[in-house]
Structure formats: C-alpha cells, structure tokens
Structure 1
C-alpha cells in the first residue's frame, strides 16, 4: 500500500503544528551540541575548512551543505563582530588539481569575504578542531536550518531574505557559470511560459531504518507524487503556456517526467545522473550521464549542480524535497514560491 504524501506550499499552507517540535533524536543532538566549545572570533577572520563526517560514504560534506555553512558563518560572523570569513575547501569530492587547491573558487569568485571594514590583515581563527561546535565535524548549517533542519525551508533559523542579502553582499558566482545559466534561460525558457521547477533528489535521500534515528526519510517518494504536485501548481495559475524544468540525479525520474509532460520538459542535458539505488553522484568517482562510460570530473559534478540550482531559481514555481541544492535556489531567489515534500 502506498503512503500518503504531504506537501507544504509556501504560498497557501500553514506549517503543520505536529511537525514543528524537534524529534527526540534532534533534541538530544541539539542539547549535546550546545555544550561544545566555540572559538572567539571577534575582530578575527573565520577560516572554514571542508567538514568531515564519521561514516565512510559520507566522510565529506556535499557542495551545497558547505554552501549553506558559508552563509551561516557569514551570519555568525556578523553577530560576533568577526572581521571576515575565508573559505579553504579541499575535500576530494570536488577537488580538481588543475584548477587549484581550493574548490570553492572554481564556482565562486571570492574566497575571502570581509564583514568589517578595514578587515585586511586581521588575525585568523581556524575552525578545524575535532571537538568544537564549529570545526572539523560541525558547520554552520544548523544556524541556517534552525532546530528542525529536516524540515527546512518550511522551518528555518535564518530567513530566505536574510540569506539572499548575505549572498548579494559576499558571494558571487563565477562569471562563466553565470553566463551559461543566462544563455540557457534565454534559449530554453519560452517567452511568457510559466515554468515549474522540479527537483527530485534520489539515491542517498533515504536511509532505510537507520534514517529514523537521524531524521532522514526511510522510504522513497514516488515520482508520481511530484508530477501530481506540478499539475496542482499549474491548475492554480492556469497559464496559457507552461514548461517543466526537471533537475534530478536519477535517470528513471527524468524518463518518468518526460513521459508525463512530453516536450514541455526541460533538463540540463550534460548533468550527471545514475540509476535509482546507485551510489550518489557526489560520492561517485565516475558519475554518468546516460552513457555509463562517460567520465565526469569533480569540477563538472559541482558545476552541473550549481547550474541546476540557478536554473531552478529562475523558474516561477518550485516543487522540491529535502535537498541543499534546491534550498540554495530559494536563497538565490527569495520570492520564489515552492511546494516542499514534508512526508
């Protein structure tokens, strides 16, 4: 028997009261984390390093988890009167030695973001201690996501408008990537069409029974639920013309959406995708498109994710599940209405 799917719709739904209280596991985690030491950052430049996990397959944080950690660090730095934030990300998931030792600069122009005027030359505080609230294993995502991060963006710690302000002031996408996104929008989005973005994260989005202990989903959401939500969004606006932009890491999801919406479907042709149940793309050293023998560099993995993120931000409505990629789309476009698959 299929499970009922519940959606939160940002423009017409109230947050379900029974969900806003943190789960027992999250209460324990938040309590333990509150006891961890924090470095003194006042007047200093915060230096962020790639975060490491404890499990083999998640030994490094993903690109957009780190993206939100940078935003959280900027907010934290402002409230603690830090001089600035310097990003030094060298995790192997995205590192391409030919492009330099800090993969953040492959995608964003500045690795140093000053918060206080005249911050140049300030002393640095390196957040790389193993036992710390913000360090080798803990980042600033929880500051952004709030006490129930598994419900973000329905619940949050930092508002979308505030995240957008931090983005506009400190983070700039590399010009060549911006140009590519602008070209794709100009050549693919039909003038006057209402574009619904769909982001379906498969592969590692569920964690079987262990997910219940870590607030991850323990079952897959059917593709049909996303297609039905797209149709509801279209019915609510009744546009004369529409398109459906699909961003997904699963080949089967894209194929399903193309069957459902035909030539109305847009998608990034060179984005890496794998079969449902395969190793997640950002963990895989040889991600594929539709050709299993086609290699993809670490840089290309990160770039395709960022392009998808920015394309989703350019749509008129977003249908999404739990994912840092489409969460970032909502920061790039703080007025974008969305449907979030709650459970």
Structure 2
C-alpha cells in the first residue's frame, strides 16, 4: 500500500477530529503505511487499524508497547501519545506533563506571542483566568440545556441547587482579586456539582477520593485524563507551552493543560461519571459514552475557541 504524504495526514483539523484511543494488552506498530494495534489470542492474532488522521490522543495502558516506526507516523499526523496505568489512570512519565508531543517547528506563532503579552502581568493573568472560568460556566449552561440524557436524570438548569451553584460562582469570580481565591471558589463549586450529581444519581455518601476505588471515583479519574489529552492536543496545535498557566501554575507542573481541561470537565465528564456509575457500566461502555458526548457537544471546538480568544485578548488588568 502506498504511504500517504505527511500533508495528507493533517487534512482533518484537530478541533474536528473524532477519535481518542485507550489501548491495553496490545502492540502498536506500523504496517503497510498504516498504524495498527495487534492483539494476541490463543488461535490467531488480530490487527486493527487506527485512523491516525482523525485521532487526537492515544493512551497506552497495561501491557502495551509501541514501535519506533509507529511513533514516527503518529508524530507526522500530530497525534499525542501518553502511557498510563490500567483504566487510563494514572499517567506515567513522558514529556510535557506526561504527554509525548510531536515535534513541529511550523505551528502558528500568533497565539504564543499573544499569550506572552499578558502572561507576565499578574493582573492580566488573573483576568485571563476569570475569562476561562466564565467560559466554563457558559459551556455548562449550553451543554446541560440541550443534552437530553442529562435531562432524563433531572439535570435542569432552572433547578434551585444548580442555578444557585452557577450564579453564586459567577458573582464570586467577578469580585475576586487573587488567583488563590479563584482556585478556592472553583474547588468549592465543583464540590457542589459533585453533590448535585450524586443526589440525582442516588449515589448516597459519595466523597471525591482518587484512591477510593468506587465506580464514580474511578470514572472521574479516567475521564479527566481524556480531558487532559484533549487540552494538551489543543495547546500543542496552537503552539502554547504547558507551563504558562493562568490558574494552576503554583501547584502543578505543566498546569495550563489543567486550566484548559477545566473548560469542559464539569459540563460533560462530571455528570456522566455519576450517571454511568449509577447504571453500573463497564469501563469500555463508559468510555464510549463520554467520547460520544465530547464529540456531540464539540468539546475540542470549544477549547480551541476559548484558548484563541484568551491568547488574542487585550487585557487591561482587573
């Protein structure tokens, strides 16, 4: 089979790509100009194609390996690769916040240059963080207002607890003067959303604990890493290093990934973690459900739009 030239591998914009892969117990390789993964059974070996031109992120879990030739093709197509534990968490060592990023010196320059124009000013950095948080709320409103599955589980924007959590957070954001205060307000609001989701899904006694091991916590861990993959891909495409965070910089290495991932986590990842835990879904079914919703609500499009908007904003301070 004739190999595709690198230009053809990049015809699908990252913001429009449909696939994220989590693989385990397989070998990823290049064969006949394609990237495949091989699974071994008792009687036969099975090869499955990975459409790399339509893929943003590949997570390699337990029992996986990858060849140098496959990595070369993935880099050519601009696919991010991360090694992780079983079920997609935790991420292990790599480059740039645990992601193996393709090398490309021809990414756009205007977004990094715009980011640098405000990033060294503390007040402008706070203004950017507030803009991200308002966008986060806007995405929750847009997603929850039209997602019929969420409505089936009684996630209604005009419910008093949901409306109060959102409006109170918006009011706080506009008056806060320090990033630390903004982080605290964001954490408290997310905690309220945990309670809201747990109540609607009848998961009494839920407590957010990454090590607890119940379905809801495991699903939250797993899906968060998919959100991080999308965020890392967005930033790589726009040429913005992960170190220039506007909120999480003092507590996390490569924290801009966390800032961007937060744009979509509460709107999609959080409620569906609880819904799928209530339905006692398998990891695979849960993964498919969330990926479908990320695509349906155009999460990547939204990330790109917001990062570009912040990059090209002219902040005047508070």
| Same structural fold, with TM-score higher than 0.5 when normalized by the shorter chain | no
Greater helix fraction, Structure 1 or Structure 2 = 2
TM-score norm. by structure 2 comes to 0.30
